[in-house]
Chains A and B, each alone.
Chain A
């Protein structure tokens, strides 16, 4: 009964989303305010129906209802309760449903948060969001219904993909999707502005907190995914330039550009059409990510379920949504002229450089991701694009970006005189160079030519970000949350640059084979192989190898990497052992049984690798603080009361 109820709720949600889209877009167009007013109840109904559907599916998982195909395919009665709940989004159908739920939640948040926006404008925003919901609901019902029954019911399920049986799974997709879907809000704001044919600085002020919040979630989601791949999959790396990783990274890059371009639109009324384009692109790339992951067009380690017929539907949907938005852009953007001007050395030009470099970076990632597909479609054979392409091209745009940022952060709006800040810029650069070279040659004493350069830039970013807040504190000036958030996020970026540089330059990795009692020394750590013993879990069995790790004769840890064989899916997973010691990340992955008591083991000593994820977390926290600035809310109240906004510089 529950699956049918869920299915029915999903159909009702589709109809309500259709109404939401119709009233929201058509109402303001024909000038019927009562139509516009119907948007909110339609959205409320849609959200309730979607939540009901999700609750029904989770109940089927918790109750082990193997008459539901999706449950039978992705769960098992031996699966712990926690994973039975998270198995809901363990495969394609459920993760789409999760996407829809999150979109409904964002829409409700916008409806609540934008109660003070002009009613017609907010109707348009919610109408566009309704259209997106409608498309995804239609997709789910037409090609990926999670409520299909199995007749006769399976006596037990095929179990959740063992790779996904990790706490990381439970939080990674929801957070990543919250970020992805959150950019739908910026997209809807952009479409609404184009439908109105009017875009002013207050528009940017309304859009900013939503965009920044979505960006914070996406940052967290990507970092968690990377952490998860490192820790659970035991791939021995934190980033692989895999199509699915790129699919989440491209919206992040363009989203970062959008966050900065919105700042210029907000403060100076500049880059209007460019900001609109970025808002469209960011969400388009989020949707394209779904397309790439789910259609089977690109082969990836992540594609658990891929199906070409779904791909055709997604493509049609993309053409309608993105094509529609870009047509609207071609038609309306020329009307939105920016009147203000600025000088070359002004903050605006630095933001422009920032945008250009970020978009270039996104384009190179995009080209690398799609190159195999394009070459295959044109019959040029299959090519594989990997880190040798991505790492240098990416760095080529990122290092100048980071360096420009350290100068641009001191620049004023409008006026191009950097002379006031010259001392601060030069002194901070000098301090950073001393520290950067000191770390490179003093502590690690080896590395690439670019190592000291990148290290210096990373430190320079942190110092530069701190100059203005410290100046304000000393002068007892106000410290708005937007500034605190920005400072923290920029320091996070600097931390990230330092961490990436250290890891890329100073990692030691070796595969060794050891018999019981033997030792090997790698990167200053000595590990002695004590032996293997069998291990057993609720739905797997395996072996664990015991290694005693010492450094300079002092004990560090006993590490037990495991190899697990899952009974039901007959899949072998590697459970790496990870230990943090003196900022170094030690990773052991048990390899093959070489016979006669010998085992191969992969040993990695990565300095500061944990700092990469910490840096991402810092950036996300900074963004969250910035998004919560009172300025966005206070301005909104003032806007509705007087219709005029006092410009605060």
Chain B
């Protein structure tokens, strides 16, 4: 009679092991950008301030910069804008904007009205560059090091805690150029 309980007993033991196993398993739920640790994708796009001028991303290398993907159609970008202005005034790292799937005159009006935190804004009207960067929703922010390697990616609006906990510690200690 007893042997018929054997499978149940073995299974109970196994369930216990699996339960412990789950608690030990590393957190793999977070979406990690495949770009981290890899070279930032190259782009050559018109400058928002002067459409006849082309911004080539290779010219950006040699220093730290934050690439911020935004658009005037994006509600969260407006909420994020104040934080971006703070980043700009801190002078720790230059902000490069990627104006994504937007209209130039609206974007210019937005920056006039809310203030311009960006050193440069590249216009990605067709969204090709954003696809290369693996963007799937604005706003997104990438931290790129002087070697042109993506060090960190933040999805969603940039906030105080992300800035102080994730981005500042990754930057070199000495205050950067404005």
Question: A307 near B18 (CB under 8 angstroms)?
Answer: no
Question: B29 near A334 (CB under 8 angstroms)?
Answer: no
Q: Name the residue on A nearest B14 (C-beta).
A: A370
A312 at the interface (CB under 8 A from B): yes
Question: A315 near B134 (CB under 8 angstroms)?
Answer: no
Interface with A: B33-41, B44-52, B165-173, which one? Answer: B33-41
A571 at the interface (CB under 8 A from B): yes
Complex: A323 Cα to B76 Cα, angstroms = 48
Take A156-B131, A315-B18 as given contacts and tell me if A73 and B136 are in contact as well, using a CB distance cutoff of 8 Å.
yes
Q: Taking the nearest CB of chain A, how far is it from the CB of B2, in angstroms?
A: 9
Q: Taking the nearest CB of chain B, how far is it from the CB of A334, in angstroms?
A: 5
Give the chain A neighbours of B137 by CB distance below 8 A.
72, 150, 152, 154
Interface with B: A174-182, A290-298, A600-608, which one? Answer: A290-298
B174 at the interface (CB under 8 A from A): no
A327 at the interface (CB under 8 A from B): yes
Give the chain B neighbours of A399 by CB distance below 8 A.
none
Interface with A: B4-12, B60-68, B90-98, which one? Answer: B4-12
Take A154-B137, A296-B28, A377-B21 as given contacts and tell me if A567 and B132 are in contact as well, using a CB distance cutoff of 8 Å.
yes
Q: Name the residue on A nearest B10 (C-beta).
A: A326
Question: A297 near B25 (CB under 8 angstroms)?
Answer: yes
Complex: A338 Cα to B17 Cα, angstroms = 35
B75 at the interface (CB under 8 A from A): yes
Question: A323 near B12 (CB under 8 angstroms)?
Answer: yes
Question: B7 near A329 (CB under 8 angstroms)?
Answer: yes
Question: B24 near A376 (CB under 8 angstroms)?
Answer: yes
B73 at the interface (CB under 8 A from A): yes
Give residues of chain A (236-256) contacting chain B, Cβ–Cβ below 8 Å: none
Give the chain A neighbours of B24 by CB distance below 8 A.
376-377
Give residues of chain B (133-165) contacting chain A, Cβ–Cβ below 8 Å: 134, 136-138
Give the chain B neighbours of A370 by CB distance below 8 A.
14, 17
A225 at the interface (CB under 8 A from B): no
Take A154-B136, A334-B1 as given contacts and tell me if A570 and B22 are in contact as well, using a CB distance cutoff of 8 Å.
no
Question: B127 near A373 (CB under 8 angstroms)?
Answer: no
Complex: A377 Cα to B23 Cα, angstroms = 9
Q: Name the residue on B nearest A333 (C-beta).
A: B4
Q: Name the residue on B nearest A153 (C-beta).
A: B137
Q: Name the residue on A nearest B18 (C-beta).
A: A315
Question: A155 near B29 (CB under 8 angstroms)?
Answer: no
Question: B134 near A569 (CB under 8 angstroms)?
Answer: yes
Question: A568 near B28 (CB under 8 angstroms)?
Answer: no
Question: A158 near B136 (CB under 8 angstroms)?
Answer: yes
Q: Name the residue on B nearest A571 (C-beta).
A: B34
Point out the residue from A152, A158, A326 that lies within 8 Å of B8, measured CB to CB. A326
A residues bordering B, Cβ < 8 Å?
A: 72-73, 76, 150, 152, 154-158, 273, 277, 280-281, 284, 291, 295-297, 303, 306-309, 311-312, 315, 318-319, 322-323, 326-327, 329-330, 333-334, 370, 373-374, 376-377, 567-571
- Apart from the given pairs A150-B136, A323-B15, 6 other A-B contacts in the complex at a CB distance below 8 Å: A297-B22, A309-B29, A318-B18, A334-B4, A374-B17, A569-B34
In order of increasing CB-CB distance, the 8 nearest A-B pairs are A377-B20, A326-B8, A154-B136, A307-B29, A311-B22, A330-B5, A373-B21, A297-B21
